[in-house]
Structure 1
């Protein structure tokens, strides 16, 4: 079972999400500012069905294909205490059939029509997608609407799939020291909020999930008035609306959908630290993470500036961290600063690095801390800010040419409290970021000592393991996905 979005591959999808997220914005900078037509990234069309389902259409007629995505405004952070993993479990079960479709028939039908399909769960949303020829769109919409409310589950279907998820957890987390380290590190960072619970769930809770648990979660959260349809590609709203009304429009809304109320993360003091030694590790690695403002929570006025900071520090081979630690000092083989602002609640900002072969992780940590001290003392320059803003806006423009990029951008935004205009306003808002704002944002987050640090080390008593594992520098996956059935397309 793949614990990351399985199609496209994890690293490509992470890059796609990063580009898509470049179009996602809320924050406190010019929230109500009008967006000039020439500044619009995707220029979408929108409408809402009578049952409350919101629809976004992004026309891209370069090829007769579409990316069809249904996003539900529910994720693992919306689970009841003691039921961790139920959102991801239900995502798997959505492929197990309805009164119209046999188990696995959904994906086999998509594949037989030349398409690709899959799904993924995150803290704040669950999404299902199909990439398919334009003339097969009505088929896809009919099947997706059918399983939105018509899922059929029995113990004979659910319990074997629960075992699949348990095996997925063993393979992707328990047998991967980097994943185990991050899971523990994240639980140290978020001590009370559900973001500290793994999306796939804790094993001792997953093994107790029942058919009724899945049905209850499905009944409460899967409904047209809790879902967003995003279609990008060779389609216009004029052509899509009759299809949407014919399929999704027939579904009844669900009353009393649970409010998305999460516990508030308490203030934390002091640095926390964890070290993991494992025989599978051949190369040590280092990671440090902070809670940070998102577009929706915390000191939101820093969100855009933190995006610019991320690009300055880790936006390629000429970025500060790579140039200093990899090129000049030659103490690191890889280094990264990432920022994840697309959350309904607080986001995260993190640093990670891998020492050069034979290098000392303590040396890398000291070099990283020196760079952060320099940043907080001297700040960034006007030239760095301007180059970073140009780079970010260019990436957003490139995302427009992607089939799935726009669909991800709007899905991420609209499931986490943002609006279509917030996505479209991103270039204007990122362009307004100043040197002073970047420096203030860096000090607001990186000067705090309430971070969590994780170190992954080889077992000195274990025999050498060529190709052993180390956690790669960069943001960990924040999704869990559906493993394709036989006949599925990755």
Structure 2
């Protein structure tokens, strides 16, 4: 199924009254309701009545980073099993049911959680909740169907990794970035793992992790919070609260070298260089906004400092991209990468990047550029308010990482953004990229 990587969005989450229920959350913003049911299921509802549509996500807080070394790929395999039928509905009956009541349905596994997402109109909400409650309690795990699905997963891995050089490069990158953490292995599992997973492994994972206290039901759209909570309580009340033998894996890194470097060969036409910097997983909106601004200050194609110096002036690179992962149970990552020009050595790329970052000063960032970046981010916020999917993605991440649901409140974001200075940006660059660095370097050469 689809793997959603990173949710770096700036979204308005307005405040709302809580629904008085089993365990209501009384410190919420307007328009968001949160309730924890008696068996631990958390229900979040974000009202948006502009259109008669709804998205509902069932988020099980278990992902590939919870897998032991002997069961990699099992979280993703169980995600696939969710579509293979229950005791009362076979695979084909379930597919027909889904097509009748949804505009889309999807499942995806991430390092952190497993999610099943549906889009529909409000009148079909009950049918979707009934379906997922049945799947949470009564998966069939038919042996023949599982073996057929194993072939599907192996084909999926071949398509995403073996037949895609960027898939292979991404796997190498993660093993470098997370050498001792469970973030280092692919969410789909290695090929040998997929082949060795037994039906009993799937059932054990399902019974261990698909419990009430490990589930969030999140709904965004044209709905009534009271109605949603009552529907979830009615259909999920028989879900066991927890599993006594469950134990989380320690996901933190055990080693912190200043620099890790690798050179590999891949089926590319041109070389590819990347340098990554480990950064803390963000805990507040100011940290997130600063890293978003750093991305533009350094790598905006028109006036980013590294874009100007590496692409336009020195011609070390043909292009430069910046990306980041900010939410993690270990550390985040800020990455700079690009395609070098002919005869450009990797160390020229590395040297120019570190030289620029070491010597950056406030006068390098014009007042106009700073204001342009803030305006760009604000326009992104305004645009993303119109997307139910973006609102959902934000709520999923805030809920999973136990961040305040007003983390990205529109007015809070604007006030915080207006207060960020050039000094804030430069201090963050110096602190995480130069003074106490943990760098990952990757040079990819064509085969």
Which TM class, normalised by the smaller chain length? 0.7 to 0.9
Per the alignment, residue 18 of structure 2 pairs with none
What is the rounded CA distance, in whole Å, between the counterparts of 1:77 and 1:302 in structure 2?
Answer: 24
How far is 1:215 from its partner? 0.8
What is the rounded CA distance, in whole Å, between the counterparts of 1:351 and 1:390 in structure 2?
Answer: 23
Alignment pair present for 1:203 and 2:188: no
Work out which of the residue numbers 193, 203, 212 in structure 2 matches 1:215: 203
Work out which of the residue numbers 130, 150, 153 in structure 1 matches 2:118: 130
What is the rounded CA distance, in whole Å, between the counterparts of 1:443 and 1:197 in structure 2?
Answer: 30
Equivalences for residues 248-397 of structure 1 within 5 A = 248-256=236-244, 258-278=246-266, 280-295=267-282, 303-315=288-300, 317-355=302-340, 359-362=342-345, 366-367=348-349, 369-380=351-362, 381=365, 383=367, 384-397=369-382
Per the alignment, residue 75 of structure 2 pairs with 87
How far is 1:301 from its partner? 8.5
Alignment pair present for 1:420 and 2:410: no
Per the alignment, residue 23 of structure 2 pairs with none
What is the rounded CA distance, in whole Å, between the counterparts of 2:255 and 2:414 in structure 1?
Answer: 33
The 1:127/1:316 distance shift into structure 2, 3 A limit, reads: farther
Unmatched runs of 5 consecutive residues or more in structure 2: 14-26
Equivalences for residues 136-151 of structure 1 within 5 A = 136-151=124-139
How far is 1:75 from its partner? 0.8
Work out which of the residue numbers 17, 30, 33 in structure 2 matches 1:45: 33
How far is 1:283 from its partner? 2.3
The 1:229/1:314 distance shift into structure 2, 3 A limit, reads: farther
TM-score (norm 1): 0.79
Where 1:422 maps in the other structure, the secondary structure is coil
What is the rounded CA distance, in whole Å, between the counterparts of 1:143 and 1:207 in structure 2?
Answer: 29
What is the rounded CA distance, in whole Å, between the counterparts of 2:246 and 2:331 in structure 1?
Answer: 21
What is the rounded CA distance, in whole Å, between the counterparts of 1:260 and 1:311 in structure 2?
Answer: 37
Tell whether the 8 Å contact from 1:67 to 1:407 is kept in structure 2 after alignment: yes
The 1:284/1:217 distance shift into structure 2, 3 A limit, reads: same
What is the rounded CA distance, in whole Å, between the counterparts of 1:433 and 1:22 in structure 2?
Answer: 19
| Alignment root-mean-square deviation, CA | 2.9
How many residue pairs get aligned? The number is: 428
How far is 1:109 from its partner? 2.3
What is the rounded CA distance, in whole Å, between the counterparts of 1:170 and 1:439 in structure 2?
Answer: 42
What is the rounded CA distance, in whole Å, between the counterparts of 1:319 and 1:253 in structure 2?
Answer: 51
What is the rounded CA distance, in whole Å, between the counterparts of 1:435 and 1:70 in structure 2?
Answer: 41
Work out which of the residue numbers 234, 251, 254 in structure 2 matches 1:246: 234
The 1:136/1:203 distance shift into structure 2, 3 A limit, reads: same
Tell whether the 8 Å contact from 1:342 to 1:413 is kept in structure 2 after alignment: no
Alignment pair present for 1:115 and 2:103: yes
Unmatched runs of 5 consecutive residues or more in structure 1: 6-12, 24-35, 460-490
Per the alignment, residue 152 of structure 2 pairs with 164
Tell whether the 8 Å contact from 2:101 to 2:127 is kept in structure 1 after alignment: no
* Greater RCO structure (CA 8 Å; 6+ sep): 1
Q: Deviations over 1:285-304 (max 9, x none)?
A: 1112222111259xx98554
What is the rounded CA distance, in whole Å, between the counterparts of 2:288 and 2:250 in structure 1?
Answer: 21
